Amino acid sequence: MNPKTTILTGDRPTGPLHLGHYVGSLRQRVALQHDYQQFVLVADLQGLTDNGSNPQKIRDNIPEVLADYLAAGIDPDLTTLCLQSALPALAELTMLYMNIVTVARVERNPTVKNEIAQKGFARSLPAGFLVYPISQAADITAFKAEVVPVGDDQLPMIEQTNEIVHKMNSLLPAPVLRHCKAMLSDTSRLPGVDGNAKMSKSLGNTLHLSASEETIHRAVSAMYTDPHHLKVSDPGQIEGNVVFTWLDAFHADKAKVAAMKDHYQQGGLGDRICKNELEACLQELIAPMRERRATYIQDKSQLMEILKKGSERAHEVTQATLKEVKRGLGVPVF
Ligand code: TRP
């Protein structure tokens, strides 16, 4: 592993993070911070692309997301935590990139397409929302990140970023930007407790890193299993069974989970027992995070101070890339 390789990821501060974020990305970041140069971006400007009239929501959630990071084990001495809006180079690179990406191309981005349909924007689609993949390309390239640990819904962003890298480099006398690749976790998408393929705040099917014991218990009890598994003795189905998908994502003893799956498929293993097993490991995972988070969130100014320090460092890195691009394009740099 090359210790100099740079990693960038980020999150929109639109609410506290949940277990989908944890298995999709947070858990990896905690492991990777030891071996890589890692930056984590609180993407407040991207958060505003569909919250333009509600900036307070974004503002309020910045410390919430930071508390989640620290609670999950991201160490600000190993990972540079920074704020998108504090890094003007990102906005400037976005302006430059917007000229080399067509509207047709952004409209074809499947993630953006889905989100636009899901949010029912129609003609009220904010211009900033449509181009957020371009701004995300600016985020990634400004840090010269080569590895981006994300969930699979972000793959179209990586693809689009690499197109921009290719195009922009071809306009410069010598390549400045680096190509990047996604790093997917074993569980790149955790289904919601209701069986919906995506866990999301708007669907109300999430579990937060700060979920109480009672909330965890209730969520697991109500969790979607195999609707045809009526009697304990009936053979049950694993595919689409959220309890087993979650056991795969969270349980440390893979052999035990494999044995449970066999038993369940043959018949004779009840949902209750599977759920108890899952609840136990979730309670064990979340309890220490919930406690740490409660401590961190009490001192929001301390959290913002961490972000300010990291942003100062990130400012230097991103400003250097912007200057290189500008010089290459023949834009005067004073
Ligand atoms: N789009 C990402 C999300 O919604 C957040 C994000 C912004 C991001 N900038 C990034 C992720 C750069 C990776 C790299 O979760």
Report pTM. Answer: 0.93
Structural contact between residues 28 and 183, judged by C-beta atoms closer than 8 angstroms: yes
Q: Within the chain, where are the H helices?
A: 19-21, 27-32, 44-48, 55-72, 88-98, 103-108, 110-119, 127-130, 132-142, 155-171, 213-221, 242-250, 254-266, 271-297, 300-329
Give the pLDDT confidence of 279-294 residue by residue, as tens digits: 999 999 999 999 999 9
Closest C-alpha residue for ligand 1 atom 14: 9
Characterize 16-39 residue by residue with b for buried, 16 or more Cβ atoms within 10 angstroms of its Cβ, and e for exposed. bbbbbbbbbbbbbbbebbeebbbb
Give the pLDDT confidence of 77-110 residue by residue, as tens digits: 999 999 999 999 999 999 999 999 999 999 999 9
The whole-angstrom separation of Cα 19 and Cα 216 is 11
Q: For residue 12, how far is its CA from the centre of ligand 1 (angstroms)?
A: 7
Mean pLDDT, to the nearest integer, of 300-316?
98
> Given this model, what pLDDT does residue 3 score?
54
Give the pLDDT confidence of 196-247 residue by residue, as tens digits: 888 877 788 999 999 999 999 999 999 999 999 999 999 999 999 999 999 9
| Whether the CB of 180 sits within 6 Å of ligand 1 | no
| Whether the CB of 139 sits within 6 Å of ligand 1 | yes
> Given this model, what pLDDT does residue 17 score?
94
| Whether the CB of 41 sits within 6 Å of ligand 1 | yes
- Residue to substitute in 61, 94, 157 for testing ligand 1 pocket (most ligand atoms within 8 angstroms of CB): 157
Give the pLDDT confidence of 39-49 residue by residue, as tens digits: 999 999 999 99
> Given this model, what pLDDT does residue 2 score?
56
| Whether the CB of 62 sits within 6 Å of ligand 1 | no
